[in-house]
């Protein structure tokens, strides 16, 4: 294809396009591309998931990629510069996968930590989410790759009935909490594309909401890019197009078929002018992306992978910056130079837990496990021993590292077969060698397949030790497993529905075999896409997802005696100087597709941690989780690290912090509750007959805990360091334009170099409406402060810092009065305060209109009596050490 499109006039092209071509441009032809129009040399462009890495265009034949920390981890850095660098890095990753649109970042609000995708959203706080979203988008787009800012517009805050449920909330909550991060990204980064969320607001699906798409996004915020639906989140023909949705994804389209579109236009439910408007936007977007990335859009479409020392170093830096030190009693950490015998205990010590599940998951180019990272960081002088303690998997671990193909290559081989008219496999079409025993087939089938088909997968399984070994087979479709020719698991004839594959699969069917260490056994799995005959088509749960998911998963691990495992781990703990427990959740517990039922850690982890702490008070817990979990043992362990999902470099990052090569500086972007009942949204966590009641209103996260006097386990913004800091010299200055400029000085009062996040919370005068006690409205990170050194931070706040959404006026409002400015190192550690006064009422709507620029010089004034109060205060951090 020539590159004539790069200079083509879009209005001319719209005139030349035939109706069928216009229709084709408004839907993807497949899972990841826009449609090309060869006749007019309009190219297709490719998109890829997702927030913590760039997977590329196939789940099944994944090309490995670098996995970065999940969004909560990134948010814990409180570092927009670093998050911008992550955006730049992911742009390069996207290009290597021949993609020019990244389906990220996710900028929903963590209303409830049990939400399946909580790990994908930055924070419970809209200012933090919005600031980091903008930084991420700026990084990505500075390199020419479009964000699809943001998954997903708006309020996809839980998974149960996600395509159907209505988020019932006040306009104020919608504006101040849920739209706010999107609005900040629109002000500070101007994303080129948006993705709508699955559910409804005000009774209308977001992809059909003219109020949201045309009204707020385009008319009020001035957005001029394209809006696409989430995958299978288009639910009609005329309504989404009239509302402003350019692109139905994925393809082939269900709604934007020529027949349906012509019918819709013939009855004038959709006007030709609207069709042309959407096509114009689509073409302008494709053209801009093609101009920015001609070598990719006109390239060979191949997908590659990068693996350089610089990338490893970057991933390691970001990951270690994400770690939050929650407890460090008696200075148990860092360990380097202090210990000789360390016991590493827990289900994830040797695991490759790098991200949450669902569309965020990807196949990593490499993984440094916690064991490898901690061992490398502590060095050879430290004696490391290991025990699992307990298992905590939901499905048995995948087995790729124990499988070889029949001719000895790593992995196993999958052959696709066509079906005859009776649904029986006939002709073999193609064979692939796979290095994953989780086969996701929803975005892949080889060319030339029959409507239903079969895969036969084969390999040799070798286990390291002799003994009972448990195998498990989970499927969306039907599958059977043979071991050495003997039928071992039948998940074909009868099935029990389970969570697998977004709730469309089965439970894991298991079998235990006695295997001999080092002696291979032949594994054969047969999978068919034909659903089992007894599938209940009325099963609401199975129908909760619009797409038909297909896939099969083989797992397995040594069968352990759970009681003996606990006792053995305790015995090991007793004879060690320090115990490091590594556990938490996994992509199978925390994922798109379902919400977590409980805050408790899975398996017997709580019991094991409590027993370890009893046996050895020098026990440190590393939690690999994307959000909050309960910690009933919080008082008895010496140390806690919230490590999130850290990507490929997980082990090195944990090792660096534990050994003290990195001084932790992460801060919690979410409040950690003691128990489920303390969650602000409780008990309205899920969908109640199609509605999710956001009864906590604007009191999300720490605002709820403060308003109700509920003590969290760890407060928002909290995180310790190996050193201590003090804060002084708070000053607030007004400058031209709507900007209040704060400055303060941070001094490192301790023994080692460290970074500290200065957080600014605003409190309100009596406004006649229920206001949070305070809200985060600015922050800055003072980086790498040496012992005794003082660094200044400057923080700008715009007019939104003191604003609320006035439902009566349908506008943003700042009321005259005195506003408190509280500055400190967490929402619970506010060390300095001052006050500013607003003397004029301000009201605005929209981001760019003249009236939006209303804050005048001297609107703020700082009373002189505050001067003394900002002279200096010691950090309370030492209290937690
Ligand atoms: C997810 C999106 C993702 C899309 C494509 C959907 O299930 O909600 O975040 O971009 O799949 O994988």
The secondary structure of 538-586, three-state, reads CCCCHHHCCCCCCEEEEEEEECCCHHHHHHHHHHHHHCCCEEEEEEECC
Which atom of ligand 1 has the smallest separation from the CA of 359? 12
Tokens representing residue 674 in the block: 């003691």
Q: What are the residues whose beta carbons fall under 8 Å from the beta carbon of 536, sequence distance 6 or more?
A: 542
Report whether residue 102 contacts ligand 1, using a CB cutoff of 6 Å. Answer: no
Nearest-CA residue for atom 12 of ligand 1: 359
230 Cα–ligand 1 center, Å: 6
Nearest-CA residue for atom 4 of ligand 1: 231
Burial label, 736 (beta-carbon count in 10 A; 0-12, 13-18, 19+): exposed
Q: Tell me which DSSP letter residue 529 carries.
A: S
Task: Give one word for 207, left, alpha or beta, with left for phi > 0 and alpha for psi -120 to 50.
Answer: alpha
Report whether residue 359 contacts ligand 1, using a CB cutoff of 6 Å. Answer: yes
Active site residue 810: no
> What is the Cα–Cα distance from 214 to 71, expressed in whole angstroms?
28
776: nearest Cα among 714, 842, 702? 702
Burial 484-508 (b: 16+ CB within 10 A, else e): eeeebbebbeebeebbbbbbbbbbb
Nearest-CA residue for atom 11 of ligand 1: 231
- Quick one: pLDDT at residue 872? 39
Report whether residue 50 contacts ligand 1, using a CB cutoff of 6 Å. Answer: yes
Task: Spot the catalytic one: 49, 230, 499, 656.
Answer: 230
Report whether residue 31 contacts ligand 1, using a CB cutoff of 6 Å. Answer: no
DSSP string for 664-733? -----SS-B-SSGGGSTTTT--S-BTTEEE-TTTT--THHHHHHHTPPPSB-TT--B-SS-EEEEEEEEE
Distances, alpha carbon 39 to alpha carbons 24, 240, 857, in Å: 13, 27, 58
Nearest-CA residue for atom 7 of ligand 1: 231
Say how far residue 282 (Cα) sits from the centre of its chain: 27
Q: Domain residue spans in the chain?
A: 1-43+242-299, 400-558, 725-866
Instruction: Determine the CATH number of domain 725-866.
Output: 2.60.40.10
694 Cα–ligand 1 center, Å: 24
117 Cα–ligand 1 center, Å: 11
Which atom of ligand 1 has the smallest separation from the CA of 148? 10
> What is the Cα–Cα distance from 284 to 852, expressed in whole angstroms?
28
249 Cα–ligand 1 center, Å: 10
Report whether residue 159 contacts ligand 1, using a CB cutoff of 6 Å. Answer: no
Please name the helix (run of DSSP H) or strand (run of DSSP E) that holds residue 488, with its range, or none.
Answer: strand 486-491
- Quick one: pLDDT at residue 847? 86
> Strand, helix or coil at 780?
strand
Please name the helix (run of DSSP H) or strand (run of DSSP E) that holds residue 503, with its range, or none.
Answer: helix 500-503
291 within 8 A of 10, measured Cβ to Cβ: no
Pocket test residue of 358, 544, 548, 549 for ligand 1, highest count of atoms within 8 A of CB: 358
573 within 8 A of 343, measured Cβ to Cβ: yes
Task: State percent of the chain over pLDDT 70.
Answer: 93
- Quick one: pLDDT at residue 861? 40
Report whether residue 823 contacts ligand 1, using a CB cutoff of 6 Å. Answer: no
DSSP string for 168-232? E--HHHIIIIISHHHHHHHHHT--SEEEE-SSEETTEEGGG-HIIIIIIIIIIT---SEEEEPTT
- Quick one: pLDDT at residue 865? 33
362 Cα–ligand 1 center, Å: 13
140 Cα–ligand 1 center, Å: 19
Give the CA angle between residues 176, 123, 845 to the nearest 5°: 20
Q: What are the residues whose beta carbons fall under 8 Å from the beta carbon of 39, sequence distance 6 or more?
A: 21
Report whether residue 49 contacts ligand 1, using a CB cutoff of 6 Å. Answer: yes
* Residues listed for the chain: 881
Task: Give the tens place of pLDDT for each residue, 406-455.
Answer: 999 999 999 999 999 999 999 999 999 999 999 998 888 888 899 899 99
Distances, alpha carbon 323 to alpha carbons 135, 448, 654, in Å: 20, 48, 8
- Quick one: pLDDT at residue 533? 66
> Which residues of the chain carry a pLDDT beneath 70?
150-151, 533-547, 734-739, 848-881
791 within 8 A of 725, measured Cβ to Cβ: no
In the chain the first and final C-alpha atoms are separated, in Å, by 64
Which atom of ligand 1 has the smallest separation from the CA of 443? 12
> What is the Cα–Cα distance from 415 to 457, expressed in whole angstroms?
6
> What is the Cα–Cα distance from 200 to 239, expressed in whole angstroms?
13
Of the CATH numbers 3.30.70.270, 3.40.50.360, 2.60.40.1180, 2.60.120.260, which one belongs to the domain with range 400-558? 2.60.120.260
Report whether residue 198 contacts ligand 1, using a CB cutoff of 6 Å. Answer: no
627 within 8 A of 671, measured Cβ to Cβ: no
Q: Hey, what long-range contacts does 812-816 have (CB within 8 A, 24 or more apart)?
A: 812/175, 812/842, 812/843, 812/844, 812/845, 813/841, 813/842, 813/843, 814/838, 814/841, 814/842, 814/843, 814/855, 815/765, 815/767, 815/841, 816/840, 816/841
763 Cα–ligand 1 center, Å: 38
Report whether residue 231 contacts ligand 1, using a CB cutoff of 6 Å. Answer: yes
> What is the Cα–Cα distance from 742 to 171, expressed in whole angstroms?
31
Report whether residue 230 contacts ligand 1, using a CB cutoff of 6 Å. Answer: yes
DSSP string for 9-21? -HHHHHHH--HHH
- Quick one: pLDDT at residue 632? 98
Report whether residue 121 contacts ligand 1, using a CB cutoff of 6 Å. Answer: no
Say how far residue 157 (Cα) sits from the centre of its chain: 12
Q: Pairing state of beta strands 146-147 and 101-102?
A: parallel
> Strand, helix or coil at 387?
strand
- Quick one: pLDDT at residue 858? 32
279 Cα–ligand 1 center, Å: 23
> What is the Cα–Cα distance from 744 to 732, expressed in whole angstroms?
9
Nearest-CA residue for atom 8 of ligand 1: 230
- Quick one: pLDDT at residue 881? 24
């Amino acid at each position: 294809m020539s590159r004539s499109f790069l200079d083509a006039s879009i209005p001319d092209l719209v005139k030349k396009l035939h109706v069928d071509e216009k229709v084709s441009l408004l839907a993807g032809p497949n899972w990841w591309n826009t449609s090309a129009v060869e006749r007019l040399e309009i190219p297709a462009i490719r998109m890829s998931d997702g927030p913590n890495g760039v997977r590329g265009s196939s789940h099944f034949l994944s090309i490995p990629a670098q996995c970065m920390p999940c969004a909560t981890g990134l948010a814990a850095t409180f570092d927009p510069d670093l998050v911008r660098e992550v955006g730049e890095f992911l742009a390069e990753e996207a290009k290597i996968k021949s993609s020019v649109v990244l389906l990220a970042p996710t900028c929903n609000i963590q209303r409830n930590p049990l939400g399946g995708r909580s790990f994908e959203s930055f924070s419970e706080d809209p200012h933090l989410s919005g600031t980091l979203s903008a930084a991420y988008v700026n990084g990505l787009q500075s390199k020419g790759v479009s964000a699809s800012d943001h998954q997903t517009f708006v309020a996809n805050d839980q998974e149960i009935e996600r395509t159907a449920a209505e988020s019932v909330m006040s306009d104020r909550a919608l504006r101040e909490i849920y739209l706010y991060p999107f609005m900040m990204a629109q002000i500070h980064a101007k994303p080129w594309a948006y993705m709508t969320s699955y559910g409804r607001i005000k009774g209308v699906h977001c992809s059909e909401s003219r109020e949201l798409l045309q009204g707020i996004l385009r008319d009020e915020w001035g957005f001029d890019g394209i809006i696409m639906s989430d995958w299978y989140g288009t639910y009609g023909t005329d309504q989404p197009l009239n509302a402003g949705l350019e692109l139905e994804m994925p393809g082939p389209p269900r709604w934007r078929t020529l027949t349906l579109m012509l019918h819709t236009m013939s009855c004038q439910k959709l006007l030709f002018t609207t069709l042309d408007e959407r096509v114009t936007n689509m073409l302008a977007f494709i053209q801009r992306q093609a101009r920015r990335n001609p070598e990719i859009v006109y390239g060979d479409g191949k997908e590659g992978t990068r693996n350089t020392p610089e990338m490893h170093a970057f991933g390691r830096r970001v990951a270690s910056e994400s770690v939050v030190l929650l407890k460090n009693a008696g200075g148990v950490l860092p360990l380097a130079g202090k210990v000789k015998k360390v016991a590493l205990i827990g289900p994830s010590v040797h695991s490759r837990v790098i991200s949450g599940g669902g569309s965020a998951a990807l196949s990593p180019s490499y993984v440094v496990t916690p064991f490898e990272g901690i061992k490398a960081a502590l060095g050879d002088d430290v004696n490391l021993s290991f025990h699992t303690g307990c298992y905590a998997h939901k499905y048995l671990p995948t087995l790729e590292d124990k499988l070889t193909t029949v001719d000895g290559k790593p992995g196993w081989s999958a052959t696709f077969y066509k079906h005859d008219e009776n649904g029986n496999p006939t002709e073999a079409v193609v064979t692939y060698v796979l290095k994953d025993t989780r086969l996701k087939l929803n975005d892949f089938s080889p060319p030339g397949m029959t409507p239903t088909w079969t895969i036969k997968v084969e390999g040799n399984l070798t286990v390291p030790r002799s003994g009972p070994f448990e195998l498990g087979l989970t499927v969306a479709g039907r599958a059977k497993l043979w071991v050495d020719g003997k039928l071992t698991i039948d998940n074909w004839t009868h099935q029990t529905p389970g969570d697998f594959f977004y709730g469309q699969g089965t439970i894991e069917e298991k079998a235990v075999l006695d295997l001999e260490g080092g002696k291979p056994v032949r594994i054969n799995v047969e999978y068919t896409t034909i659903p089992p005959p007894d599938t209940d088509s009325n099963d609401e749960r199975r129908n909760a997802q619009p797409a038909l998911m297909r896939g099969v998963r083989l797992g397995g691990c040594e069968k352990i005696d759970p009681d003996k495992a606990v006792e053995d781990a305790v015995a090991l703990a007793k004879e060690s100087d320090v115990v490091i427990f590594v556990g938490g959740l996994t992509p199978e517990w925390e994922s798109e597709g379902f919400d977590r039922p409980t805050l408790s850690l899975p398996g017997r982890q709580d019991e094991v941690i409590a027993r370890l702490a009893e046996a050895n008070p020098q026990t440190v817990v590393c939690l690999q989780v994307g959000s909050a979990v309960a910690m009933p043992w919080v008082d008895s362990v010496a140390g806690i690290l919230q490590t999130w999902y850290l990507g490929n470099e997980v082990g090195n990052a944990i090792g660096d912090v534990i050994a003290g090569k990195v001084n932790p500086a992460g801060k919690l972007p979410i409040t950690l509750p003691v128990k489920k009942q303390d969650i602000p949204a409780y008990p309205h966590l899920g969908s109640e007959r199609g509605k999710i009641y956001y009864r906590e209103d604007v009191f999300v996260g720490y605002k709820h805990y403060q308003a109700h006097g509920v003590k969290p386990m760890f407060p928002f913004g909290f995180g310790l360091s190996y050193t201590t800091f003090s804060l002084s010299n708070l000053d607030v200055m007004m400058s031209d334009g709507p900007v209040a400029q704060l400055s303060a000085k941070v001094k490192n009062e301790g023994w080692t170099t460290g970074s500290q996040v200065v957080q600014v919370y605003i409190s309100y005068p009596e406004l006649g409406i229920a206001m949070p006690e305070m809200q985060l409205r600015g922050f800055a990170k003072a980086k790498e402060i040496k012992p005794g050194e003082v660094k200044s931070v400057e923080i700008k706040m715009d007019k939104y810092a003191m604003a609320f959404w006035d439902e009566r006026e349908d506008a943003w409002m700042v009321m005259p009065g005195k506003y408190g400015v509280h500055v400190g190192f967490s929402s619970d550690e506010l060390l300095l305060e001052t006050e500013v006064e607003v003397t004029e009422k301000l009201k605005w709507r929209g981001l760019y209109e003249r009236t939006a620029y209303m804050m005048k010089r001297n609107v703020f004034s700082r009373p002189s009596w505050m001067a003394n109060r900002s002279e200096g205060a010691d950090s309370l951090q030492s209290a937690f050490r």
